Amino acid sequence: MQIYLQDAIKIILDRRDEKPLDLLNEYFNTTLKGEHILLREYAFVSATQLNRKSFLQQVKKVFHSTPHYKVITALDYH
C-alpha cells in the first residue's frame, strides 16, 4: 500500500491539481482496473505482485486486440 500512496502523492504534487481528492480517487480507480502501470518505468511495474499482474493483463489486451494474435509465438512475447 505504501508504494501506491507514495506514487499517488507524487502525482498530486507534480500536477498541482485544484482537486487533489478527485485525482486520488482517479488514481485508485485506475489501480483497481489494472491501468495504473501503463507507460510506467520498469521499477514501478515490477514493484508489486498487483503491478506485475496488471502488466500481463495489459499486454494480453494489447496483443489480443490485433487480428494476428494467434500467430504470435512465445518468442514474440518475450
pLDDT in tens, 30-68: 999 999 998 999 999 999 999 999 999 998 887 776 666
Q: Which three cell numbers stand for residue 30?
A: 485506475
Confidence of residue 72 (pLDDT cuts 50, 70, 90): low
- Give burial (CB, 10 Å; 0-12/13-18/19+) of 41: exposed
The answer, yes or no, to whether residue 78 has pLDDT greater than 80, is no
A 10 A CB-CB count for 54 gives 22
Instruction: Count helices and strands (H / E) in the chain.
Output: 5, 0
